[in-house]
Amino acid sequence: MYRKVRFEYYQVVFRTKDDSKHDRDRLFDLVQWMDKAKKKSLEGRTYNYRQEQARLEDAYWDQELGFYFLHLVRLRDTNIPSKARVDSSVEPLELEDDEFIGEEVSALYDENNHVLMLQRNKFSLGPEGIEEYLNLLWDNDDETIHLRPICPPNAFAIARKASEYRKINIRFADIKDVDSKKLLHFKSPLKGIISSYNEYRGLNAQVIITVGNVKSSSLDNKTINDTLDDLEENPQFFSKAEITKRDSDDARVEILDLFAHKAHDFGTFRMEKRETLSHYAIAEEMWSIYSGNEECSNRQKDINSYLR
Q: Which residues contact 173 (CB under 8 A, 6 or more apart)?
A: 204, 236, 237, 238, 239
pLDDT tens, 169-222?
Answer: 999 887 666 666 777 789 999 888 887 776 777 777 899 999 887 777 899 999
pLDDT tens, 214-244?
Answer: 777 899 999 999 999 999 998 888 889 999 9
Distance between CA atoms of 108 and 174, rounded to whole angstroms? 38
Give the residue ranges of DSSP H helices in 211-261: 221-233
220 residue type, one letter: D
pLDDT tens, 256-283?
Answer: 889 877 888 888 888 776 567 788 989 9
Cβ atoms within 10 Å of 226's Cβ, excluding its own: 17
Please list the residues that pair with 73 across neighbouring strands: 55, 104
Position 100 scores a pLDDT of: 56
Q: Are strands 206-210 and 238-246 parallel, antiparallel or unpaired?
A: unpaired
Higher pLDDT, 32 or 75: 32
